[in-house]
């Protein structure tokens, strides 16, 4: 921590009462993730979205999209291998990654993600090795593996956002609704930009262009949704996305993706324009992942964000409890309803007997 941060912490302690925070001291511990983690977020999303697009191209049955299917298989398999290497780099030893596969906990995003990556890696590797087979049993096996990888690629592209929002870090937990959609749309952007750098025929370029435009537009919409969701409990929760290193990365991500989208909308764009759009989108997707991860550090260091978020949640819970009827009142209402129903039944029976 440098001198500026130390001075800011001391000022916070002096100017904050016991009611606001506990003498300005951080409530949570900072994460110890290496840069390999946000890089894994990017590569995993790229691999998952590429596999999903490849499965869609395979299901279309169009012979003009065979090249796109082969390229997405290669990208998905390479991304799975690089993702595993990045995770092992952060964990320190390969055995720690394999230890996460000893149990499967559906309630744990980390456990689900580890199994997702393992299954996706196996299927995408088989699909990539058999991507040149067109007929026979091996071709059918490769196609089945490609479809399986495409199905698993969808949750793989977004589970890392669930992993972040499942923590107590205010800037991550506060965006638990919009953050998964942002990561998945950014994964679509990443895959489209990677494919734009490859040699494609006219039909494949049209598919990738539409895929990329949808992803970039959705990413810009989701960034706005994340900012609004974070500002809802208290504006201070969203401060890491407006100031400092994380704020600069977040702003750069929006500008880069916006510029990439603008170039994608140019009619009859030349190969140079497509490549420029692809590199801008790739840089924007990387800046987004690193910005989100870096935002966790100032969010944890400021106890006011933690306290404001918890108080807002407590107030919402109190309002919800106040709107619910008391148990005795609810019981009385149920008794009255049952009595009214019984009176109606007895009245109808009396009329029937009188008529007979």
Pick from 232, 191, 227: which is nearest to 211 by CA? 191
Instruction: State phi, psi for 108 to the nearest 5 degrees.
Output: -105, 115
- Predicted confidence (pLDDT) at residue 67 exceeds the cutoff of 90: no
- Residues 255-297 have pLDDT tens digits of 999 999 999 998 888 889 999 999 999 999 999 999 999 888 8
Helix/strand number for the chain, H first, E second:
13, 0
- Whether the per-residue pLDDT at 326 is higher than 60: the answer is no
CA–centroid distance for 332 within its chain: 46
DSSP of 240-251: GGTSHHHHHHHH
Looking from the CA of 58 toward its CB, the CA atoms found within 13 Å total 26
Instruction: Determine the Cα–Cα distance for residues 156 and 85; give it in Å rounded to an integer.
Output: 16
Q: What is the pTM of this model?
A: 0.78
Q: Between 92 and 16, where is the model more confident?
A: 92
Q: Which of 186, 182, 198, 216 is nearest to 78 (CA)?
A: 198
Residue 17 has pLDDT above 80, yes or no: no
Q: What is the CB neighbour count within 10 angstroms for residue 320?
A: 9
Structure-model confidence comparison of residues 186 and 324, the more confident one:
186
Q: Quote the DSSP letter at residue 236.
A: G
Q: How many CB atoms lie within 10 A of CB 223?
A: 22
Task: Pick the closest to residue 86 from 339, 272, 293 (CA basis).
Answer: 293
Is the per-residue pLDDT at 221 higher than 90?
A: yes
Residue whose entry in the numeric block shows the structure tokens 């506990």: 22
Structure tokens at 76: 């998905």
Minimal CA–CA distance to 146: which of 39, 216, 60?
60
Instruction: Give whole-number Cα distances, 26 to 151, 297, 301, 336, in Å.
Output: 41, 11, 5, 53
Per-residue confidence (pLDDT) for residue 12, from 0 to 100: 45
The mean pLDDT of 290-316, rounded to a whole number, is: 74
- Residue 331 has a pLDDT of 61
Res 97: pLDDT: 77
pLDDT at residue 317, rounded to an integer: 46
Averaged pLDDT for residues 143-163: 90
129-132-135 Cα angle (round to 5): 110
Inter-CA distances, 322 with 186, 233, 312, 315, Å? 40, 19, 15, 10
Q: How confident is the model at residue 13 (pLDDT cuts 50, 70, 90)?
A: very low
Q: 290: part of which helix (H) or strand (E)?
A: helix 271-301
pLDDT of 2 above 60: no
Q: How far apart are the first and last CA of the chain?
A: 92
At 92, list the tokens. 């320190």
Which pLDDT band holds residue 22 (cuts at 50, 70, 90)? low
| pLDDT for residue 5 is more than 50 | no
Q: Are the C-beta atoms of residues 171 and 32 closer than 8 Å to each other? A: no
21-49 b/e with 16+ CB inside 10 Å = b? Answer: beebeebbeeeeeeebbbbbbbbbbbbbb
What whole-number distance in Å separates Cα of residue 114 and Cα of residue 106? 11
Cβ atoms of 286 and 42 within 8 Å: the answer is: yes
Range from 39-53, 174-188, 239-253, 301-315 carrying the lowest mean pLDDT? 301-315
């Amino acid at each position: 921590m440098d001198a500026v941060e130390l001075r800011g912490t001391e000022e916070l302690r002096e100017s904050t009462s016991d009611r606001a925070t506990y003498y300005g001291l951080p409530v949570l511990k900072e994460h110890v993730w290496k840069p390999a983690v946000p890089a894994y977020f990017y590569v995993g999303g790229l691999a998952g979205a590429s596999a999903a697009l490849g499965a869609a191209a395979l299901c279309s049955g169009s012979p003009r999209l065979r090249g796109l299917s082969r390229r997405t298989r290669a990208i998905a398999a390479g991304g799975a291998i690089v993702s595993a290497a990045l995770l092992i780099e952060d964990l320190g030893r390969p055995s720690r990654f394999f230890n996460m596969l000893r149990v499967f906990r559906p309630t744990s995003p980390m456990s689900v993600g580890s199994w997702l990556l393992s299954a996706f890696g196996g299927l995408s590797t088989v699909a990539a090795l058999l991507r040149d087979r067109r007929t026979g049993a091996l071709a059918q096996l490769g196609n089945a593996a490609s479809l399986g990888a495409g199905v698993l690629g969808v949750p793989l592209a977004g589970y890392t956002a669930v992993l972040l929002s499942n923590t107590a870090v205010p800037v991550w937990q506060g965006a638990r609704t919009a953050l998964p959609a942002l990561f998945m749309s950014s994964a679509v952007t990443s895959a489209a930009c990677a494919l734009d750098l490859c040699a494609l025929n006219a039909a494949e370029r049209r598919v990738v262009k539409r895929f990329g435009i949808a992803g970039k537009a959705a990413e810009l919409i989701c960034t706005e949704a994340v900012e609004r969701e974070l500002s809802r409990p208290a504006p201070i929760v969203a401060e890491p996305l407006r100031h400092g290193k994380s704020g600069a990365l977040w702003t750069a991500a929006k500008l880069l993706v916006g510029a990439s989208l603008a170039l994608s909308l140019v009619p009859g764009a030349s190969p140079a324009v497509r490549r420029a759009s692809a590199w801008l989108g790739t840089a924007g997707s990387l800046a987004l992942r690193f910005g989100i991860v870096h935002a966790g550090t100032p969010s944890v260091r400021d106890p006011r964000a933690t306290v404001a978020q918890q108080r807002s949640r407590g107030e919402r819970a109190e309002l919800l409890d106040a709107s619910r009827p008391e148990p005795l009142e609810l019981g009385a209402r149920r008794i009255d309803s049952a009595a009214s129903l019984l009176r109606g039944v007895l009245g109808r029976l009396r009329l029937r007997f009188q008529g007979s």
